[in-house]
Every structure is written in C-alpha cells, then in structure tokens.
Structure 1
Amino acid sequence: MIMFNYQQTSQSCVKCGKCIPSCTIYNIHPDEVTSPRGFIDLLGAYQRGELELDKNAKDIFEKCFLCTNCTYVCPNLLPTDQVIENVRAEIAQKFGIAWFKRAYFFLLRNRWLMDWGFALGSVFTPLLFKNLPKHQSVKPRFKLPLIGERVFMWLRFKSFMESYPEETLNSDRENPRRVAIFIGCLANYNYTKIGDSLMEILKELRIDAFIPKKQQCCGAPAYFTGDFPTVDKLIKQNVTYFESFIDEVEAIIIPEATCSAMILEDWERFMHNQPEWRERIARLLPKIFIASDWLYHKTDLLKRLEALSVKMDKSITYHDPCHARKVLGVFKEPRALLGANYKIVEMSDPNQCCGFGGVTLQTEKYQYSKKVGIAKTKMIQETGAKIVSAECSACRMQLTNALDHEKIDVEFAHPLELIAEALKARG
C-alpha cells in the first residue's frame, strides 16, 4: 500500500478555497465535507485518531471523482487525489469490495476469461439491449440491475487484439519504423473502431504496428477503487512483458487518456516502496505516449492532414479528459490534429470533468455521476457542434449516456476516428 502522511497534507492546506469552485463533487453536492479541503481535513483527523474510518467516512471518500481539478489549481500542489486513492485501499481492506467489483477485477486479472466473457456477452446482448450504431453503444430494452436504462458500450464478439495479427508491416524496408499499441480495455472490447482507426493512420504513415497480445489491463479501475493487490499484479505482469519488446519498438502508444495517465504517472508512484520495480518502470516510460501526443510530435501526420485540403462538413467540440489535460498536460495536440480538417467550437469550459469517476461512481453513487454528465452535455449543446470528441473511452461512455438522457442529438467520436475519416475523405 502507498502510505501517505495524511496529517502533513492536511496541515499544508492553507484553506484558501481555490479548489472549491473547481471541485466536481462540490459543484453538484455543495457540502464542505465533500470538498478537497474537507477531504484532507478529515484525513488529518483520521490519522490523529480523532475520526474513525467507519461507513460514514467510507461514503464520504467514495464521493470524490478523482478528477484532479483541485490539484491543478492548488497553490501548494497538495496531492488530494493520491491521498484519497490511498485511503480507499484502507477502506477496501476494512470493509471489503462489493461482489460485482471483485468479479470485474477478477476478469481484469485474467484476460483469457475476459475474452471469453465478452464474446459470450455479445451473443446475448441483442436479447437485452437495442443497438445504437451511431454511438457504437446499446440501450437496455428494460431496466436492468446496476445498469438501469443507461446507454452502455457495445459488447463485441471479437476484440481489437483478436482482429489483427500481432505484426502488421507498413513501413519502407529501407527506413523501417515500428511501434507497439497498448489498446486499453474499452477500446479493445467495446469501441474497437478506435483501434481500427489507429491502424489506418499507421498505414498512412508507413509505420509498422506491433500489437502485443499478452498485454494486460493497466490497473486503473482497481487502483481508483482501492484493490491494490490487483494493481500490483497487473503492473508487474505488464512491466515484465513490456521489457521483452521495448528495445524493438520506437514507442508504445496508447489511445486512451486514463490508461496513459495510469502507466505514465501512477505505476511508478504505486511502486514507491518496491525500488526494483520502480526502476524497471522508469526505464520504460521514455518510450510510452498517449497517441495524440506521439502522433503530433513524432510523425508528420499534421502536415499530411493539412496537405489534404479537405474540410469536413461536421463541426466538433473537444472535451478534455481529466487524465489527459490535467495529469499529462496533453490538450493542444489533439486540437491541432483535428483542426486541420474540422471546425472546432470550444465549450465554455472544456476542462470540466464529464463525471465518469470510476467503478463506484458508475454504480453505487451513479446519482452524482449522472448530474455531472448532464451539466457537461449542456455545455456541449451550447456550442452547436454535431460531434463531441475526447481521447478517452470512459468519457465516451459517460457523455454518450448523458447525451441520450437529455435527448441531445450530438455524436461522440474519438480523435483517431475523426482523423481516419478525414484521410478517407480525400478520395
């Protein structure tokens, strides 16, 4: 477990209140207790022995969206998100983890079973869900446990990794370039068009694509829930596997903000008390990138898109995933790539969290997630754009559901899907 000095963090808070207006949960549940300075005050009291880690405290700490808005504006750079992630591990140890979360994390630890489970689920999906092809999603035909009437992602019979060979050769043999793709669970099993689009872009760039078939989940869902043993296992499996091919590729590119932030920021931090693994992770990180960052800085894709002289007739608005903009500092790159062929209309606050929040907020505390999502859709609607884009499938699932709930006719598309569409449009 990552150990934090909660009291030190609490004492470092100057109570300036800059975090309050930016806090996702506070904006829809205005209670000082569930605000960044409220969270860290309670954690300080807990470490001093003045607060019991009971079910009431559990309820409070599970309301945080971990959007990192507070850390982004804090003058003392207090790691509010990290201390909450840590106390959630203590909560998990004390109270256990709900059965459906344990089942999900078991699948994450066993990819062969997840492959089989998603394939089987896709067979029965038409019985329970109606298809929404425009959104690459499905909607329940009637209320279902945990899901209710929410729009849900497609269940594919064949995943992205199962749809392609491990090696796809595209490059000039005299000057070969080769990258590995870490696809992420949602893009692998559900929104497979993301991976298809990335493969098309790499073909255009004449770069070989290596799809490591033994890659595991990055561990983010378990990490945000407090299941640290699962996180430890998944990190070590991935690191060992990455080491087997890292010298043979130019980069490992990831088309998902959450996976990228988990690997680039949280893996090394998580292993702070396991120096050997921390060092092994550090040796990998220089070659790991979120897709838009790598495509913008390491290829001539922007020049190719500008040379198309194609202006798509669809206006788009761009939503900044919390893990892309605030954690990785990536927000200009996708806009530059998209702006070459699309008209971009900015929201009043593109940086506002969409409200996905992780497994707990999507299930046990969905009422809060729903309110945040609806607020974000109002911003999207005000732009008049026909498409909202974000480099994150969790944001996609959240916003697609909120847009459907509010009956707003706006489509969601990943930046890679839009870029691939522009490349095809040149005729």
Structure 2
Amino acid sequence: MKPLGPLMLLRPQGGHKRLLRAADGFYHGLHVPVTVVDHVANFVLETDKPFIADPTTYFFVLRPERLCDADKKAVRPWLLRLAKGFGAPFEVALGRRALVPADFPEKGNATDDAVRRVLTHQKAKFLGQMNLPLEPYYAKYALYGDSAPASSSPPPAGPAFLVPPYFPFRNVEDPWYDLDLRLAERALSVREKGERIAPVIHLDAVALEDEAVVDRIVADYRARAFDACLLWVNDLPEDAAPAEHLRGLVRLVRGLSSGGRQVFKLYGGYFSMLLFAQGLTGFTCGLGQGAWKNAYAFGPGGGAPKPKFYVPALHRSMELANAERLLREHGSLRCPCKACRDVYGSNIDRFAAMGEDGHCESHFLYARQAEAKALLDRGVDSCLTALTTTAGKFGDNALVKVAALRTWREVLAPT
C-alpha cells in the first residue's frame, strides 16, 4: 500500500523525548543508530511507531585514531560495545586497523556469521520485537491541524526492516560496492521467517554524475528480492548540491522504486519530500538539522548540537543569529506557526528565546507538517511554482540565498 504522502522518520536526540511524546501525529517513525543509550531505545519502543535501527557499520572503515576519544586516546566505549555485539571481523579490527573488503571472505561461513550477528544485534537492542510494517501503519497519522492527534495505541513497534552491514563506496568499480551487495544478499539468506531486509546504498555524490553508474546500481539492486532500499548519498546537502547530483538522485530514486519497491533516503530535507512524486517513499532527518551527513566527518563527540531555526519559505535551517537577522530584514519570511506565535509573535526582539526549551524543534515539526499538507493538498507542481515565486521575489539577495530553490525547480520541472 502506497502512503498518501512522504513518510518522515525522525532521528531523535535524548533531549527530544518530551517533545516527541506530545507530537505523536507530526512524524511517522524513527531512524536510530543501534548505539543509542538504553533510555533512548526504551523511548523508541514507547512511541509505538515503526523505526529503522541503523547498524552504523561504516564506522569500522575509519582509521583507528579517528575512533578514539580525543582526551583519553582510547577507543570510545560505545564502539567497543558495538564491536563486541557484532563479533568478528569488527571486534578483531577495532582499535588496530580499518576493515577492508577481504575481511569478509566469499568462501566459508565467516561472512554469513558476521551478517547474522549484525542483524541479530538490531533485534536484541530493541527487546526482540519485530516487523510492525510501514505500509498500513501510517494511515492513522493525520498531517493536518495545529495539534497532534491522540495515539490509538497500535501494537508495540520493532525494526520495520533489518539492515545488513554496509560501507561507503565511490563508484561501482569500488570493491566496497561489490561487498555491500554481497552482504545484502547474504542477509536475504540468513534472515528468519518474516524478517524484512533493507540494504543501505551508501554512495559518494560524485557517482550520481554518471548515468551508467546510476543505472548499474538500479539494475543490481532491482535484481535482488530486497524489501526496501535505503539511500545515503554521502555529504550531499540538498540546499547546496549541484544540479547534476540532484538529477542523478532523481534517476536513482525513479529506477529503484519502479515496480513498487519502497525507497527511503537517509538524511533528507525538503527536496527529499518533493521526491515523493518521483517514487521516494520517505526520508529521515533531525529536528531542524541533520538533513545531510558525511560519514568521514566523525568528530570528537560530546554535547548536543545547538538548535537551528528552519525558515519555511526557504526550506532550510540556519544558525539562530543568522535567522534573526534574516527575519528582521525580511518580515515576510517570518513563520506563523503556534511555536513562533507563542515565543516571539510580532516582537522579533524575543526571537532569541526560540533557542530555549525545544522551541526551534517544535517549530520545525509545525513547519514540516505545513510543507506536507501543501504537497498533499496542492501537488508537487504547485510546490515547485512556489519555489519559483520565492526565488523571483528575492533575486540575488546574498542574505536570503535562493539559489537552491531555482536548482530544485530546474531539476524537478525542467522546461
């Protein structure tokens, strides 16, 4: 069953629990790493929503020194726990060297055992509850109104899909590409009855420039009986990506989704929402940020990210200080949502308070809900026309920066 609109799976932080409990109808599910602390894992189950438990195996291809605590110079404890749960070859390599494709031999049982442990770890992390499917579940969630509907208490949620081990690849000639496909195939063989497999296709953005590469990926993944595909284009901010990368993404989504297979984009934004018309089932994102991710930019860690303000008319998030300056100079870009009305209303001098008490995150949910409603009510052509109108209104204004809106329109509605 095709959903009525694009599904949005949030990537929550521990501090978001209170907000998300009150915003049940504003999002469709969750995208969480298997490394989440227990209280977040428990919260995921409490939401009674489908979720994707990301095994984050890509960490293990980073150099050992990148995985160490900057102060203690030792491998971070959560990575040690993850490696122990996965077993060989992850546990053997961690702290000593980066994984290489040869760590997953084609002969023997070692690779099957590794894949099985990665799948099992996803289930074990979330109490073994499984397979609340995505398709029929979301019909009950309204995308309308200024407040969230009451939950109707569906059955307990578990991972909607199991994700095989995956690693980033540059192109289809990269040995990691062949390995990713082979590991995903092995997951189909070792899964238990009723388990659904969704491999992550973690590609470099440059690969999207070559139609032959895109078509090869489509052909390879369509030839296997995967239940869904999860796309992660590494380091692709949609509001700064060149048109050729976005065109390649559209081609990839169209190809993978043909025939009705579910396709989700990991780390997406408004452009991903518009890709629903091209066959994308849904996308994952943070609350006002996290619309793109670079697997290689693995920092020192520690502390929650600072809130950002999502500007609905521009469909992008900004640092609070920059957003305040923008809204002071261009009042037409101010947001009328309940969160903004309650915090600063018509008095922009109170805008700084948006950075407190989850106001930016709450505003983001209202804004994203309004975007979804506009897409459902008026269709993608109307949304693209709105992009053109906004871009024309502000022209080459260096503060507003509407180049991305023109690019999105060019890619999705070429003349």
TM tier relative to shorter chain: under 0.3
TM score, norm. by length of structure 1: 0.26
Q: TM-score, normalised by structure 2?
A: 0.27
Q: Which has the higher helix share?
A: 1
